[in-house]
Amino acid sequence: MAKKPETPPPQKSIPAPEQKAQQKSSLLDGLLGLEAKTSGKAQEGEAPLTKEEKEALKHYDEGIQKMLDLIAPAAMKVNTKSIILNDEYVRTFYVYNWPNFIYPNWLSQLVNFDAKFEMAHFIYPSDNKAIMRMLRKKVTEIRSSIRMLEQRGIVRDPTLEAALQDAEELRDLLARGQEKLFQFGMYVTIYAEDELHLKKLQTDIESILGGKLVLTKPAMFQMEHGWTSTLPLCLDELEIGRNMNTESVSTSFPFSSSDFTQDRGILYGINRHNDSLVIFDRFTLPNANSNIFATSGAGKSFTAKMEMLRYLMLGVEILVIDPENEYTNLCEAVGGSFIPLSIQSPFRINPFDLPQAIRGEEAAAGETLRASVINLHGLFKLMLGTLSPTEDGILDKAILDTYALRNITFETKSPGEIPPPTMHDLVDVLMTTEGGEDMAKTLQKYTEGSFAGLFDKETNVELDNKMIVFQIRDLEEQLRPIAIYIALNFLWNRIRSEFKQRLLVIDEAWNLMQYEDSARFLYGIVKRARKYYLGITTITQDVDDFVESPYGRPIITNSSLQILMKQSPATVDSLQKLFYLTDGEKYLLVNSDVGQGILFAGYKHVAIQMIAGPEETALITTKPQEVAAQAAKKEEEAAALATPDIQEELPASEDVAQSEESIPEVEAPPEEERT
Ligand SMILES: Nc1ncnc2c1ncn2[C@@H]1O[C@H](COP(=O)(O)OP(=O)(O)OP(=O)(O)O)[C@@H](O)[C@H]1O
Ligand SMILES: [Mg+2]
């Protein structure tokens, strides 16, 4: 991509050949580091260099390794229709015909075309004054032609009238400074491994452009000039331009494919293609779900936390399933509540809870109960392991009977208002059911055994806060999927009961994906989230884990936003297949730094750098060094706060009279700081 300087060189932007050749060689030399550093001239006051000395310096210069040595092809053969660069076939085309009408972003199909090619645009501003003079002459000519036709009594010529109208319009726009005229040249160079591929690629590109009536021809007999024109040297050696006004030229802006800025939403980061800002609102996408994939420590949780912090400012409610207790800092800072789920914790959730005040179809009598029974069925299968078809049937009936014990049946209206049963009731029902004893015994682990108290009590968790974090770090490994299931079910009931804009973040989502029942449950809520104004973010380290589950792929296809960050070379291939990444994108992911990645929203792909401010970073980092430094700082501050109190006591014991004046002053500020 090259753009000539604003001011056109003399002679209407086309320099004299010698002048140009000189310009080219010095520009190339500069770019490639070829400019002689040792001038060969003697310094002032020194004896002039002898011929031998000059020769020696010249040889020394030649012996220095230059950029050119590194990038130059080993050989280059220029043919009529192509160049052979090492083993590669190269061909350049130029555009010779533009359509009358062209629309913004018409280039995106070519820019996104998956092939190796280079494209150059040369835009030369024309001198408005000369153009105006020319147009005036043209208008006069057309007018007199029209008049002559009229005088001779011949019927009017519509082409002449259209030409007159176009010319007049252009004159108006130029005179007002709304438009400018440019010479626009566009060249494309393609690369292929042999003649056959080159021909195929040529046909592909010609048909992409030809479909828009942008017609091209190969730069026959000028292949070398064509090729240099598309190198990033800003050298137009073909000089095949067409007149265009500002509006038409602007439609060929090629960055539109990777541009991703909306006028509302939150800042995700910086677009690494063109350094613009990536600002958008995920709730404007077809659904607000997102997946984040990356290796450990690449910045997945960091990105999610940054996003939730910024969405909080837009008034969105945030719900988090946090398996590492790493959202605590953030949650405290924004005044959210965190609910640790563990045997020791006082917080309890009853999986038998039914949602209240559900709207629409689901509010029909029986629907609420039916949906809850299906969810509970999945949960108990997770607790019980594999079940035989008979056991499956018994379990289903037992759950319904358990509800019936509390007078909740398919006929009950607003079942959510009746106190629900607990797991104790289910165990009792199973005990008295034929074939249910084994299941009852396994479930007793949760009612009387080592996990008693966790899931078999009435719910005592309140959810009216703008950020709620469920922490499950202190739970045994085997209980985690169960706890996440229960917490999600609980949240899902609340989400359906009250219409609000919400984000639900499930960190380390593989916990759920490893079992079919929990994966199915997650898929179920991901699929329906949109209708409840909910965006679900799933965060996963291992793509393979996720995709191996039969529900992994549907979860991805039901998420409009994907954030891929650093990948290990071992996993990147499966990711490439999954997301149809180009080789360039794959390479970019393997070589990404912490906080870098590719963001996919619908068909748009943007290479992005997530950027957090220092205050944000302090709240959301998990880097051990930074966390330790913060802890130390906190201690220091606490110590600093404590010091004035000591001073305050000292004078009081020594000199009461003096202290009466000094105490209030010393005492006041620390109190305020602490509140
Ligand atoms: N965009 C970023 N800017 C600055 N630092 C970052 C960024 N992203 C991540 N980091 C740093 O990297 C650390 C690790 O990131 P994070 O906790 O998000 O890793 P992760 O991908 O969630 O890893 P794990 O899978 O192990 O949980 C962060 O605590 C932070 O210090
Ligand atoms: Mg993490």
Q: In which band, very low, low, confident or very high, does the pLDDT at 129 lie, cut at 50, 70 and 90?
A: confident
71 Rama class: left (phi>0) / alpha (psi -120 to 50) / beta: alpha
pLDDT for residue 658 is more than 50: no
Task: Give the number of whichever ligand sits closest to the CA of residue 320.
Answer: 2
How far does the centroid of ligand 2 lie from the alpha carbon of residue 299, in Å? 7
Across the range 575-586, mean pLDDT stands at 85
| Ligand having the closest approach to the CA of 510 | 1
CA distances from 165 to 134, 154, 245 (A): 15, 20, 16
Q: Is the pLDDT of residue 657 over 50?
A: no
Is the pLDDT at 671 greater than 90? The verdict is no
Over the stretch 370-398, which tens digit does the pLDDT of each residue have? 888 998 998 998 888 888 899 989 999 99
Q: Which residue has the tokens 């997301």?
A: 579
Nearest CA, atom 1, ligand 1: 595
What are the tens digits of pLDDT across the range 459-508?
888 878 899 999 988 888 888 889 999 999 999 988 888 889 999 999 98
Q: What is the b/e burial string over 139-148, where b = at least 16 CB atoms within 10 angstroms of the residue's CB?
A: beebeeebee
Ligand 1, atom 4, residue with closest C-alpha = 595
pLDDT-derived band at 3, boundaries 50, 70, 90: very low
Q: Dihedral, CA atoms, 309, 310, 316, 319, nearest 10 degrees?
A: -30
pLDDT at 239: 92
CA of 511 to the centre of ligand 2 (A): 13
Domain count of the chain?
A: 2
Atom of ligand 1 nearest to the CA of 299: 18
Boundaries of domain holding 651: 638-674
- Hey, whose CA ends up nearest to atom 9 of ligand 1? 299
Nearest CA to ligand 1 atom 10: 299
pLDDT single digits (tens) 213-231:
999 999 999 999 999 999 9
Mean pLDDT of 445-455: 85
Q: Which of 196, 224, 254 is the last residue of a domain?
A: 254
**Closest ligand 1 atom, residue 306 Cα:** 1
Question: Which of 254, 273, 292 represents a domain boundary (last residue)?
Answer: 254
Domain assignment of residue 444, yes or no: no
- Model pLDDT, residue 115: 86
- Report the Cα 421 to chain-centroid distance in Å: 45
CA of 527 to the centre of ligand 2 (A): 24
Does an H or E element contain 76, and which?
Answer: strand 76-78
The tens digit of pLDDT for each residue in 508-531 reads 898 888 888 889 999 999 999 999
Tell whether the model's pLDDT for residue 131 goes beyond 90. Answer: no
241 part of a folded domain: yes
Find the radius of gyration of the CA atoms of the chain: 36
Per-residue model confidence (pLDDT) at position 29: 62
pLDDT confidence bin for 303, thresholds 50/70/90 = very high
Which ligand sits closest to the CA of 566?
1
For residue 64, being part of any structural domain is answered with yes
What pLDDT score was predicted for residue 665?
42
What's the confidence (pLDDT) of residue 585? 86
Helix (H, G, I), strand (E, B) or coil at 462: coil
Q: Identify the residue whose tokens are 């292949």.
A: 223
Q: pLDDT grade, residue 41 (50/70/90)?
A: low
| pLDDT tens digits for range 590-645 | 999 999 999 988 778 888 999 999 888 988 888 888 888 888 888 888 888 776 55
Taking a C-beta distance cutoff of 8 angstroms, is the pair 420, 406 a contact? yes
pLDDT in the model for residue 589: 92
Which residue would you say has higher pLDDT here, 30 or 513?
Answer: 513
- Given a cut of 60, is residue 8 above it in pLDDT? no
310 pLDDT more than 90 = yes
Using a pLDDT cut of 70, give the percent of the chain over it: 86
Ligand 1 atom closest to the CA of 294, numbered from 1 = 21
Q: Please choose from 270, 302, 598, 630 the residue to mutate so as to test ligand 1's pocket, defined by most ligand atoms within 8 A of CB.
A: 302
Rounded distance from Cα 240 to ligand 1 centre (Å) = 50
CA of 301 to the centre of ligand 2 (A): 4
Domain-terminating residue out of 204, 237, 254: 254
Nearest listed ligand to the Cα of residue 594: 1
Which residues line ligand 1 at a C-beta cut-off of 6 Å? 294, 296-302, 541, 594-595, 610, 612, 621-623, 626
The answer to the question of residue 189 being in a domain is yes
Report the alpha-carbon distance of residue 639 to residue 633 in Å, rounded.
10
Out of 64-73, 199-208, 315-324, 589-598, least confident range: 64-73
Out of 278, 539, 594, mutate this one to test ligand 1's pocket (max ligand atoms within 8 Å of CB): namely 594
Q: Closest Cα partner for 563 from 547, 548, 551, 575?
A: 575
Tell me the average pLDDT across 350-369: 75
Distance from the CA of 307 to the center of ligand 1, in angstroms?
A: 13
- Write down the pLDDT at residue 40: 53
pLDDT in tens, 103-115: 777 887 888 787 8
pLDDT higher than threshold 90 for residue 417? no
Residue 651 in this model has a pLDDT that exceeds 50: no
Please indicate, yes or no, if residue 396 is contained in any of the structural domains. no
What is residue 68's predicted lDDT score, i.e. its pLDDT?
81
- Give the mean model confidence (pLDDT) for residues 351-362: 74
In a domain, 665, yes or no: yes
Q: Report pLDDT for 78.
A: 95
- The reply to whether 175 falls in a domain is no
Distance from the CA of 298 to the center of ligand 1, in angstroms? 5
Choose which residue among 292, 296, 301, 589 to substitute to test ligand 1 binding: the one with the highest number of ligand atoms within 8 A of its C-beta: 301
297 CA to middle of ligand 1, Å? 5
The reported pTM is 0.62
Kindly report the three-state secondary structure assignment for every residue of 138-180: HHHHHHHHHHHHHHCCCCCCHHHHHHHHHHHHHHHHHHHCCCC
With respect to residue 430, please indicate whether it lies within any of the assigned structural domains: no
Distance of CA 70 from the midpoint of ligand 2 (Å): 42
pLDDT at position 186 is: 95
Angle, CA of 510, 512 and 514, to the nearest 5° = 65
Q: Which ligand is nearest to the CA of 621?
A: 1
CA of 284 to the centre of ligand 1 (A): 27
Residue 238: pLDDT over 90: yes
C-alpha distances (whole Å) from 12 to each of 9, 185, 350 are 6, 15, 81
